[in-house]
Amino acid sequence: MSVIHNEMATKCKLFVDGKWVESSATEFGDIANPSTGDIIGKVPMGGYKDVDLAVQAAAKAFPAWRDTPVVERARVMFKFKNLLDEHYEEIAGIVTREHGKTLAEAKASVQRGIEVVEFACGIPSLLFGDSLANIATNVDCETIRHPLGVCAGIAPFNFPAMVPLWMYPLALTCGNTFVLKPSEKVPLSSMFIAELLKKAGLPDGVFNIVHGGKDCVNAILEHKLIRAVSFVGSTAIAKYVYEKGTANNKRVQAAGGAKNHIIIMPDASMEQTVQALQASAFGCAGERCMAGSLAIPVGDAAKELMPRLIEASAAMKVGPTDSGSSPDMGPVISSEHLAKVRSFIEKGEKEGAELALDGREIAAAKTSKGFFLGPTIFDHAKKDMSIVKDEIFGPVLSVVRVNDIEEAIALGDNCEFGNGAVIYTNSGRAAREFKHRFNAGMIGINVGVPASMAWYSFTGWNHSFYGDLHIQGKEGILFYTQQKTTMTRWFSDAPVAKNFQDPVWKSKK
Ligand code: NAD
């Protein structure tokens, strides 16, 4: 694992053909520890040259990996899963250091990533084809799933280990080779994990890493040898990647941003609801595509909910996540992002929402060089305000009070996004109505963050997803493979070989 510890102090390298190599980039970005503001590494802002190097290695490795029996590909994943378990704490530590999540959040996210590897271990059964005998007279038909070739993954900053793990375990076990571009803000976890893949026995060139931002992404979208691109990030870039990638004849699955609604019915169990709402809105400092960032108490629900929620949120401890203490919430990713989230708070005030809890006032936000902001709550927000419509991606919860469930469902119909939505209630009828009619792809009923686990696809709707086949689960397998259908006929009057002695055949004649 030497490369990671060295890279902490120096420049990140590319992982190409099983080796760490220098980038040809001339510009470098900073990797910061958000808890302290310290620079902990430099990342090359690579372009076509770096991408081409990695893609050529992946293309060279493809034929042998494609022809490796699927059971052997699965065995590499089993070994990889064991290594991930073994190094679980270390990976979570790197995630905390480069991203700022609390250690508990980092561990939970790594666990979610490991679950994708567990799913991928079952690849022989997942790749089964279909067959039908005698679909026409003496004609049998079968389908087989083939890998595509070189696939690429482009990841966001908010889950440094987990989101890349949504992609490559499936792509690789399906028989593809892979080029990963982690977020330039948090490349270290993926670099550590690359060494585990090598240690698990993955042949050189099958998995590669490049670094950079826009130029690197454009090089991926334009490279002729890349067949498919998985993207996770903001909606604007997801749309761009989808349009440019498909225009260049690539398969693209592109998951975008979100504004997830949490509806609280008056009959909800309030204690659990407050805890869940707090965890959903402020967990991972609100930097989750499944964060509940818009609470919608129905009827009388607000009366009990709001005082309890404000009190509990104000009591949350916010501070550095890598110093041995265990705060409830860590920093946001960067000083630029902090400024952006703060500007949303100013907008909310100008728009006339009631600032019920102001996270700018916490001690860490005033004294630390880290990028801190405390839990912030706007009450009495209205449906056309930017704090209700836009993704803020920080610890800011907007609350829109409504009279009935119809009004709550209508708010969802107006939403540009459609990742997740949650209802807290003890009424089966309200829950059923919500589940069937709400305009989002992942629904929680008394579950605060209904992010699909590895065995299911991550089914965002509207502008939270561009493409046809979602990430993870069965759709993930379909995305990384193409079908071949074969029809076979053997003629009944075909000449028989001279010395053929098959008794069955004889009796049939
Ligand atoms: P981002 O869109 O800024 O960056 C994502 C990736 O795109 C990065 O690798 C980055 O280098 C690249 N990129 C950035 N600007 C680019 C440009 N102009 N042209 C080409 N490529 C560019 O997203 P982020 O800030 O890293 O991550 C946060 C976003 O990701 C949020 O919107 C969040 O909701 C979303 N997200 C979505 C899901 C999901 O499943 N829907 C999951 C996690 C995160």
Closest CA to 106 of 117, 120, 94, 115: 94
**Rounded Cα–Cα distance for residues 212 and 43 (Å):** 7
Atom of ligand 1 nearest to the CA of 235: 32
Q: What are phi and psi of 374, to 5 degrees?
A: -85, 170
Q: Tell me if 493 is assigned to some domain.
A: no
One domain, residues 237 and 320: no
Enter the tokens of residue 188.
């270290």
One domain, residues 174 and 200: yes
Residue 151 known to be catalytic: no
One domain, residues 384 and 366: yes
Give mean pLDDT, residues 124-149: 96
Which is it for strands 131-136 and 139-147: parallel, antiparallel or unpaired? antiparallel
**C-alpha pair distances (Å), 263 with each of 5, 369, 487:** 45, 36, 52
Atom 19 (ligand 1): residue with closest C-alpha? Answer: 214
One domain, residues 77 and 36: yes
Structural domain of 386: 261-445
Q: Please state the pTM of the whole predicted model.
A: 0.96
One domain, residues 41 and 75: yes
Average pLDDT, the chain: 95
Distance 354 CA to ligand 1 centre (A): 30
Closest CA to 110 of 202, 3, 170, 192: 192
Q: Tell me if 495 is assigned to some domain.
A: no
Q: Which of 414, 445, 476 is the last residue of a domain?
A: 445
Q: Are 149 and 225 in contact (CB under 8 A)?
A: yes
Q: Is 213 in the pocket of ligand 1 (CB under 6 A)?
A: yes
Distance 233 CA to ligand 1 centre (A): 2
Band (pLDDT 50/70/90 cuts) for residue 492 is: confident
Q: Which of 232, 280, 456, 458 has the most ligand 1 atoms within 8 A of CB, as the residue to mutate?
A: 232
Distance 155 CA to ligand 1 centre (A): 7
Q: Which of 234, 456, 459 has the most ligand 1 atoms within 8 A of CB, as the residue to mutate?
A: 234
One domain, residues 245 and 316: no
Q: Are 405 and 263 in contact (CB under 8 A)?
A: yes
Please determine, for residue 415, whether its predicted confidence score (pLDDT) is greater than 70.
Answer: yes
Atom of ligand 1 nearest to the CA of 337: 25
**7-21, 184-198, 303-317: which has the minimum mean pLDDT?**
7-21
Q: Residue 85: how many CB atoms within 10 A of its CB?
A: 12
Chain center to CA of 393: 15
Give mean pLDDT, residues 491-496: 76
Q: Which of 445, 468, 498 is the last residue of a domain?
A: 445
One domain, residues 115 and 139: yes
